[in-house]
Structure 1
Amino acid sequence: MTTTSFYIKTIILGFLFYSCSTGNLEVVANMDAQLQEASALELVKNENVLWTIEDAGNPNVLYRLNNEANIDRSITITNAKNEDWEDLTSDKQGNIYIGDFGNNSKKRDTFTIYKISNPKKLKEETSAGIINFTLPKKVDSEDFEAFFLHNNYFYMFSKTGGKGILIKVPNQMGTHVATLITEFKLKGKQTKITGADISADGKTVVLLNHDKLWKLTNFTSDNFFDGKLEALEFKHDSQKEGVCFVDSKSVLINDERTGIEGGNIYVFEL
């Protein structure tokens, strides 16, 4: 993937004076100080810039970062409310999707995905396409912070510690009832999923936690847990929120800023 490889090389060279190892995470940038609660990262196909958002209580704005991780464009979504924006994904045409499905109170009945068309051509504001969904009957309201787009479906993983659920929703405007794919249970003390992505070849899924990354491979259906599951420890614990593939062997990760700590972008080799 030439463009994404170029991006990584550029950002690492640009921050060579800053780069340091944190466990087996490599810090490659410190995010713009304006972004205190960045909840996602997305590297859009055929672009060499990152996009991010902030979560509940922050503006309904999509931010573009340059290769120094500073904001170089802020796009207000005029028909959206940031009830609890938690993750980003994109399609092959370069459209970005915002997952407004955070649900800490577990009282939401309806969740929303906003489609931002051709963001690279936008300047200051836009109106989004809207996809709403509800959960299947007999499925309790859950908190979601992680999703990706694959084969024209959005796949969402609940954040709940202990037993979680994987659901999918079609990439179509309108209101849908999500399909429950499976329940799952991850081992360890910290098991709450805060971000997710799938590799461009569709063969590897990563699920993010504060101190580890779960790597899922060798699956043969969209029940990704039917394959091989590996826990990759970071040796570093912070409020990590966003993850996106650079290529099949590496990802970018960000954490929220807590005081003078965090607010970084890391590269991690799988």
Structure 2
Amino acid sequence: MRFIICSFLLLSYLFICGCDKKTTSHAGFKVKHVHIETMGELPLEVPESSGLIVTSPNRIWTHNDSSNPNELYLIDSTGVLQRTLMISNATNIDWEDLAIDSNGYVYINDAGNNNNDRKDLKIWRIPHPDKATGNSTFAHAIAFTLEDQTEFPPPRSNRNFCIEAIIWKSDSIFMFTKDRSEPLTGYTKMYGVPASPGSHTAKLLDSLYIGNRNNHSRVTGADINFETGEVILLTRSHLLSFTNYPGNRFFKGEITDYRFIERVGQVEGVGFINGSSLYISEESDEDSRGFLYRVNLAQ
């Protein structure tokens, strides 16, 4: 009897493991596994890449995060630096993502908020950087407060006000939080704010439970494919894809969890190249520079 029970358990384990390598479901998400292709090292000028926009397959704009220069960096598809553009009137308090709209305006998210205590959250809007003729450009500020935050900082159990991921859609900026609560709640919250300069209150629109592991559930970047409407959220171990959603209710659509087969470091920037491929950028660590990666969701 003991042999039969052990055999059954072993077969069950092998069956589960075998299924996990294919398309499965988890917490209502469809799960797929994808390979990550290394394209090249990021330049020394970008040790802490925290956001990406892709204006063509060989033109990728990125930036560093907190307390670094107020500059955007153009790299090619192998990570080689092509150009530096200074944002003349902006300060990099904690830049954490980039977004682009249908008119070519680019939005720099200055709402990184590790300690959940900032009262100066803003998004900088600039003209399309590809069209800048000099080495600098001027930005307009979209200042905002979060409608559900009343304490700065709140108790550790409610520290979910750090925004590291944004997209533009339908004349609004949609923002996604990186959960820093202790213990981890596993949720990302979604806010919406008008994509126009001025002072605004960002409305809490939705939330989504992702998981209870730091690397898996803490959102660090986002992008949207304007042709298909697919929205992507990035964490250190996977991409969450949202399709076939009603209106702007992304979390109510079909959700696919693309899990990385290869291990990567602190990845924070993500941008669509085409309908199925994306670039992902990584911060450097003590041992090496960060890398630019490519992921094909259709593999």
Residue in 2 aligned with 1:16? none
Residue in 2 aligned with 1:204? 230
Check whether the contact 1:238–1:262 (CA below 8 A) recurs between aligned residues: no
What TM-score do you get using the length of structure 1 for normalisation? 0.85
Amino acid at match of 2:268: E
> Deviations along 1:65-109, whole A, 9 cap, x unmatched?
134422222111121111100000112232211000000010012
Residue in 2 aligned with 1:181? 205
Check whether the contact 2:62–2:74 (CA below 8 A) recurs between aligned residues: yes
Alignment of 1:212-223 (within 5 A): 212-223=238-249
> Deviations along 1:103-151, whole A, 9 cap, x unmatched?
0010012311111113223221122111111111456661010001011
Confirm or deny that 1:36 pairs with 2:62: no
**Gaps in structure 2 of 5+ consecutive residues:** 1-33, 153-160
**Greater radius of gyration (CA):** 2
**Gaps in structure 1 of 5+ consecutive residues:** 1-22
| Correspondent of 2:251 among 225, 241, 264 | 225
Check whether the contact 2:78–2:292 (CA below 8 A) recurs between aligned residues: no
Residue in 1 aligned with 2:36? 25
Confirm or deny that 1:152 pairs with 2:171: yes
| Correspondent of 1:163 among 183, 187, 199 | 187
Check whether the contact 2:237–2:259 (CA below 8 A) recurs between aligned residues: yes
Q: Give the Cα separation in 2 of the matches to 1:137 and 1:35.
A: 34
Residue in 1 aligned with 2:75? 65
Check whether the contact 1:200–1:247 (CA below 8 A) recurs between aligned residues: no
Residue in 2 aligned with 1:77? 87
Q: CA deviation at 1:164?
A: 2.5
Residue in 1 aligned with 2:217? 191
Q: Give the Cα separation in 2 of the matches to 1:113 and 1:36.
A: 22
Q: Give the Cα separation in 2 of the matches to 1:55 and 1:137.
A: 25
| Correspondent of 2:114 among 104, 108, 111 | 104
- Quick one: structure 1 residues 31 and 215, their matched pair in 2 at CA, closer, same or farther if it must change by over 3 Å? same
Q: CA deviation at 1:47?
A: 7.8
Amino acid at match of 1:220: P
| Correspondent of 2:62 among 39, 52, 61 | 52
Task: State the identity %.
Answer: 32
SS in 2 for 1:220: coil
- Quick one: structure 1 residues 67 and 93, their matched pair in 2 at CA, closer, same or farther if it must change by over 3 Å? same
Q: Give the Cα separation in 2 of the matches to 1:37 and 1:138.
A: 28
> Deviations along 1:173-225, whole A, 9 cap, x unmatched?
10110111112211252200000011122531111011111111221121211
Q: Give the Cα separation in 2 of the matches to 1:178 and 1:255.
A: 28
Check whether the contact 2:110–2:124 (CA below 8 A) recurs between aligned residues: yes
Aligned pairs, how many?
247
SS in 2 for 1:225: helix
Amino acid at match of 1:171: A
Q: CA deviation at 1:48?
A: 4.3
What TM-score do you get using the length of structure 2 for normalisation? 0.78
- The runs of at least 4 aligned residues of structure 1 exceeding 4 Å deviation read 137-141
